[in-house]
Amino acid sequence: MPIHMDTRNEVAILAMDNSPGNAFTSDMIQQFNATLDRIEADDKIRGVVVTGADGQFFSSGMDLQYVMKLEVKAIKIFFKTLFTFFHRTFVFPKPMVGAINGHVVASALAFSMCMDYRVMQKEKAVCTFPEIDVSITPPSGCLAMVKYVIGERMTDLAFLSGRKFDELRLWPQAWWTNWPKADQSSTGPWKSRRNWALKNRACLPNIKNASAVKPQTACWPKTCDISTKRWT
């Protein structure tokens, strides 16, 4: 199963387990959405922590070997499915925390930015957008969302350089924190954000949807209009 779910103290712990690298495939996205459906319908669950089961990667992004085996039409469907899933994460009605316990690469880094907060074990993880080094043009909607989170200048630096950030300097201070070695439990990343789950549960999703207006106008699902299988 690409997605493992455990519930502790009203928090759903989701572990991505799709070797190698916990990369995104259609099956993984489908199971992720099904799991989020269960969480959204369960009033006993107050929040979500997403982490990687693989010791090396939080996620390596989309599975390029899988994608390149698809026909053109299927590639378009995959990209639409992927970015629609990212948008769902962005507006999910319960707080979501990314517990980054390994390298986070390309679209997986964009995925982590869709969550409300991130913690990172900086001794273990590197975050990077390597698209320029592998001749992949990021979808415009993805770029718009990243700019919304970390700002235009930092987005340009990250994508144009392909730089590996071994610390969380990629994010503004308000968007991340360090995951201390002393607390390696799955619920550790949730502790500093638990107060979010105690806020007005009816109002929270409304605010998140309102916040999503800017990235959504940048055409989240429409970024998947790829007419060729070649990455140029």
Which residue range is the domain that position 150 belongs to?
Answer: 3-185+196-224
Nearest to 4 by CA among 47, 53, 40, 54: 53
Check pLDDT > 60 for residue 19.
Answer: yes
Residue 70 in domain: yes
> What's the pTM value of the predicted model, to 2 decimals?
0.75
Backbone phi, then psi, for 148, in 5-degree steps? -60, -35
Check pLDDT > 80 for residue 164.
Answer: yes
At 126, which CATH number? 3.90.226.10
Nearest to 91 by CA among 221, 207, 198, 226: 207
Residue 149 in domain: yes
Residue 191 in domain: no
Residue 64 in domain: yes
Please write the tens of the pLDDT for every residue from 23-41: 999 999 999 999 999 999 9
Please write the tens of the pLDDT for every residue from 71-89: 989 988 998 899 899 989 9
Please write the tens of the pLDDT for every residue from 207-223: 555 555 444 434 444 43
Backbone phi, then psi, for 203, in 5-degree steps? -85, -30
Per-residue exposure over 141-170, b if at least 16 CB sit within 10 Å of its own CB, e if not: bbbbbbbbbbeeebbeebbeeebebeebeb
Averaged pLDDT of the chain = 76
